[in-house]
Each structure stands twice: as structure tokens, then as C-alpha cells.
Amino acid sequence: MAKIGVIGSGTWGTAIAVLLNNNGHSVDLWSAIPAEIEEMKATLKHKNLPEITLPETICYTVDLEAAMKEKDLLVLAVPSVFVRGTARRMKEFCKEGQIIVDVAKGIEEDTLMTMTQIIKEEIPQCEPAALSGPSHAEEVSRGLPTTCVAGSHKKEVAEYIQSLFMSPVFRVYTSPDVLGIEVGAALKNVVALAAGIADGYGCGDNTKAALITRGITEIARLGMAMGGKFQTFTGLTGIGDLIVTCASMHSRNRRAGILIGKGYTMDEAMKEVQMVVEGVYSAKAALALSKKYDIPMPIVEQVNEVLFENKPAKEAVADLMLRDKKIEHSDLPWEE
């Protein structure tokens, strides 16, 4: 049995706490919001995971030091926009060599840093890692079969995380490509917004398939230019995560996109979804990265114009369809 602190009691943090508790570990679940913790203690319910009853054996707390003290593993599960601020608060309670697994998905807009890069910058004494893949909290919390990837630069760290999370319903692979994992995780949210916008506008399955296929091409090209590995983008944290996020109504990014496609403004859509829509925060960063590395990303460009320049979905779809003629794979030879 390991002692684990889960920092962040949103749907994903709570689902992970339930999973780890069911695996036989001692789990503390922390929130910065006292009312949220008190409600979970009193009702053993999470307002956004209504189908499950929370285990009494989890320790629900607002004491950050207690949630981190003498832990074998910490899971940082706050939304990406809060990772830096939360990591800064965690620093004074973090022991040397502490493994911190980030499960948020995003790129910081101002610095273009990934989540593990932010964590390492704020908590130099820690050992950051990432856990990612096609894993909606609503399904993980209910024990539906799920697969993810534990990413770390150190093999023994990735394998340790794997050993803690593995269960009959949660299969974990390992990978040294932390950067590729994080780029895929962040940018698939932007493509999922595009997929949702297309759904809301009234496009069909053909459009969805095109966005997923061309979206992973954009993500992989950028990720490889940044130093990620091609294999990562063909796997669970690349195409796997992209498929589930573009296709499922559990995806807050897709749901927000649907509303925008129907004519809602970005702010109206985010209020309606009532949870953090990570893709909105990653969209500008993705566009900035595409310019920094000189990688064309037409889907990302159109999403930014729809989100931040009030471009109608109809025009965005037309501009994508009417781009200059291209060859799909430029490295394939023609017959002479």
C-alpha cells in the first residue's frame, strides 16, 4: 500500500482518488475550496460525478501540507491554468525527490511551457511525471476499462507509477517521451473544439473524421519539431486521446465547441459547460508554437479565429475546405 496525495478535487482528480483507493492505497484528496470538501465529506458525492458514491476511506482535506506530508506519490490534478499557482504553494511542503504526476492537459499561454516543465520550474526538488491518455473521469470513476500512459524521463519512475495505477480496469503503459505525451494531450483539446464546432454547425461524420485525421497530423508535426517522437502521436496519448475527446459528449471541449458552432460566444459556451474548457486556454499557445516552429496548423488557426475574432463557423469550415491543393503525404514517391 502506498500513501498518495491527490491535489485537486475536480472530476479527474476525484476519479483518480477513487481508482487509487480501490487499488488499496491510502489516499488524501485535497481541494482549495472548503465548501467542496465539506459537501463530499457529508454526502459522499461529487456534483459532476453523480453516478458514483465516494469511498469513506478517502481522506478529504483542505490542508495542503497534510495532503502532501510523507506521501510516496503526489498527483497534481488541478486544471492547467492553475498548475503554476498550485505548484508554487506546494513547494514548501515538497520533499527532495518527491514524484509528482501531472494529469492536467495544457500549454501555458505566456511561457509556452508544458505542465511538467512548469512543475519542475516551481518545485526544483521534485521529480515530475505525466499520466495521460483517453480517460474521461466519468468512465474511470465507474470502473470502465481504460488505458493510459505514464511518462517520465526515468524508467524506474514511470514503472513505479504504472505499478500504483494498474488494475483490472485501468491499464497503464510507460514511455520516456514526456514532451510528446504532453503536446498530444494539450493540443487534442484544441482539435476537439474544432470537432465540436463542426458538430454544432451541422457537419457530419465525414467532417469529424477529416478533423481527427488532419488534426493528428498537425499535432504530430508540431510535436516532432519540438522534440517529441512520432510513435507517441500514433499511440494512446496522441490519436487515442484525440479520438475520444472529439467523439464523446463527456468531452467538455467538444461540448463547448458544439455550443459555439450553434452561435454561442466563447464566454457563453464556457459558462454553459460549467467546467474549465482546457482547449480555450491552449488554443493561443498552440498557435504561438506553430509560428515559433514554423509548422502550418490550419485547424488551430481557424479555431483561434472562431474563439477570439468572432469568425462564424461557416466561414471557418469554408476556409479549411478551400485551402490550396495539397498532396497528403509528400514523402511518398510517384511512379516515373
Q: Looking at the structure, tell me whether residues 235 and 273 fall in a common domain.
A: yes
Please indicate whether residue 188 is annotated as part of the active site. yes
Looking at 176, 195, 213, which one is the last position of a domain?
A: 176
- 327: which 3 cell numbers? 498532396
Amino acid present at 160: Y
User: Would you say residue 242 has pLDDT above 80?
Assistant: yes
How confident is residue 318, by pLDDT bands cut at 50, 70 and 90? Answer: confident
Residue 327 lies in a domain: no
Give me the number of domains the chain comprises.
2
| Candidates 3, 47, 71, 188; catalytic one | 188
Determine the structural domain holding residue 222 and report its residue range. Answer: 179-321
How confident is residue 271, by pLDDT bands cut at 50, 70 and 90? Answer: confident
Whether residue 114 contacts residue 183, with contact meaning beta carbons closer than 8 Å, is answered with yes
pLDDT reported for residue 272: 84
Q: What is the pTM of this model?
A: 0.92
Q: What is the pLDDT of residues 181-233, one digit of tens each?
A: 999 999 999 999 999 999 998 999 999 899 999 999 999 999 999 999 999 99
User: Would you say residue 288 has pLDDT above 90?
Assistant: yes
Q: Which residue has the cell 470537432?
A: 195
Report the alpha-carbon angle 234-302-187, nearest 5. 30
Across residues 280-297, what is the average pLDDT? 94
Q: Looking at the structure, tell me whether residues 29 and 132 fall in a common domain.
A: yes
Cα separation, 100 vs 46, in Å, equals 24
Domain of residue 193, CATH code? 1.10.1040.10
User: Would you say residue 93 has pLDDT above 90?
Assistant: yes
